[in-house]
Structure 1
Amino acid sequence: VATFKGLVKTHLQAQTVEAIAVGHQHNHLGVSDAFATIYRRDGLIGLWRGVNGAVPRVMVGSAAQLATFTSAKDWVSHSQWFSPNNWLTALIAAAISGVAVAITMTPFDVISTRLYNQPVDEFRRGRLYHGFSDCMLKVCQTEGLLGLYKGMGPVFVRLAPHTVLSMLFWDLMRQQAAKHNQSQGRS
């Protein structure tokens, strides 16, 4: 489902008037029209366009989020700024994790966006990129490595608060569950 939403979101966000249009224009009338148009034109397979960029994005983002949060929390705990179960320890670790998530996911966002938004040929294959690796290679060749980090600011503004809140609340709930289980074990 996330792939369908990402595809439609990208089509709609890239859409603008011809005078300032950049890239391929899909000209959907709205969300439901986009889904219907893509399905009518390309079938169910068309709604999966770009999945080869979206799946690695989610995998890398989740791995970065969980690994850096755990490592950062251990580091903050060992530094003895706060007690290990203090919410500030989790907050600082979550903030560090938010930065790591934005850095690791931005290249995958760029690739997904390019794959989602490219025009297709009569066989419904991408005209610009043949897949994930081809897109990454072409971006690096034409725009340099930093081309994979276009939009890093907005990605950070979106992902960092989400990571901070998710990891902070998860850690607080985990601590409450552990306390509850300990009190149940004593009864």
Structure 2
Amino acid sequence: MGLKGFAEGGIASIVAGCSTHPLDLIKVRMQLQGESGPVPVQTNLRPALAFQTSTTVTAAPPLRVGVIGVGSRLIREEGMRALFSGVSATVLRQTLYSTTRMGLYDILKGKWTDPETKTMPLSKKLGAGFIAGAIGAAVGNPADVAMVRMQADGRLPLDQRRNYKSVLDAITQMIRREGVTSLWRGSSLTINRAMLVTSSQLASYDSVKETILEKGLLEDGLGTHVLASFAAGFVASVASNPVDVIKTRVMNMKVEAGVAPPYKGAVDCALKTVKAEGIMALYKGFVPTVSRQAPFTVVLFVTLEQVRKLFKDFDF
């Protein structure tokens, strides 16, 4: 196996990540909807009367907007280029996270596949996914934090925006202002999400592909790859969306010296989110998650299969 699995997985992941970046951005914006609490507004009902006191009126929470609404508003208010906000972070994230997880899964798959039957039990596929996803997420967390912040920046008021110029600028500013540990903010969530995504995505793809070929439904070609990868993308979306919502909110929260952060951690964020917005808030952005995860997984595995063909005669 060597480094080939890392190179193949890395190339395929970067292509897939860049292709579906706008959908990922819309997903992040939707997951942050409803996060801010009521805004107190001071109004004087009768300013002419000296004894009249000010009355606090609670502003209504913002309406939840769907995929098309979020996307069209983003383009209208920030321009077409905003659809690729944070794309440099996506490239770095895929280079670090996906290259690592795909390469490690390939190595574990090679070691745990039965040499006689050439098969690997589902339990071992899931185990390989858990291990590969956890290590990949730990390596790629700094780029993940930067990507979430860059994607969310446009929804903030002008005076509150971070205005990162690039992923390297984002990482540099985070270290300078919040310390190096800020690069691993939400890492427990990132790792949990990556374990769920990697195990469900890669194991589902391998299992569905094997079933299609064993039953003779299709030949080992583009149709099989697309069908298996679409199924894998849907399974991964269902498994990971709740963790993804909490991860996005924890990573995006603004931390200032002397001010208590909005969330104490992942559990606190989950409890506050469910209490304020209901249990289904954990599936905010599910439609764009599936809309992004399905094509991402299709592009990922279709590209991966083609890259493997190109690299089949090379050994490194």
- TM-score grouping bracket, smaller chain normalisation: 0.7 to 0.9
2-structure distance, mates of 1:118, 1:8: 12
2:183 to 44, 47, 50: 47
Aligned to 1:155: 289
Flag structure 2 segments of 5+ consecutive residues without an equivalent.
1-138
After TM superposition, list the pairs within 5 Å mapping 1:54-93 onto structure 2: 54-83=190-219, 85-93=220-228
Q: Structure 1 residue aligned with 2:153, among 8, 12, 15? A: 15
Bigger RCO of structures 1 and 2 (CA < 8 A, at least 6 apart): 2
For residues 137 and 72 of structure 1, do their structure 2 counterparts lie closer, same or farther at Cα, with a shift above 3 Å needed? Answer: farther
Specify the alignment match of 1:128 in structure 2. 262
Larger Rg: 2
Does the residue aligned with 2:263 lie in a helix, a strand or coil?
A: coil
What whole-Å deviation, never above 9, does each CA across 1:43-89 have from its counterpart, x for those lacking one? 21122212122111111110011221123224433554224x34422
Hey, what's the Cα distance between the residues in 2 that align with 1:140 and 1:119?
Answer: 20
2:179 is paired with a residue whose SS is helix
Q: 1:52–1:131: 8 Å Cα contact kept in structure 2?
A: no
Question: Does 2:244 correspond to 1:109?
Answer: yes
Match of 1:145 in 2: 279
Q: Which has the higher helix share?
A: 1
* In 2, Cα distance between equivalents of 1:34 and 1:41: 11
Q: Which runs of 4+ in 1 moved over 3 A?
A: 77-80, 121-124, 168-174
Q: Distance in 1 between matches of 2:273 and 2:258?
A: 24
**AA of the residue aligned to 1:12:** M
**Residues 111, 135 of structure 1: 8 Å contact kept:** yes
1:72-131 C-alpha deviation (Å, 9 max, x unpaired): 224433554224x3442232111111111222222222111111111225379x722222
Going from structure 1 to structure 2, the CA distance change for 1:6 and 1:75 (only over 3 Å counts) comes to: same
Q: Percent identity?
A: 29
Partner of 2:17: none
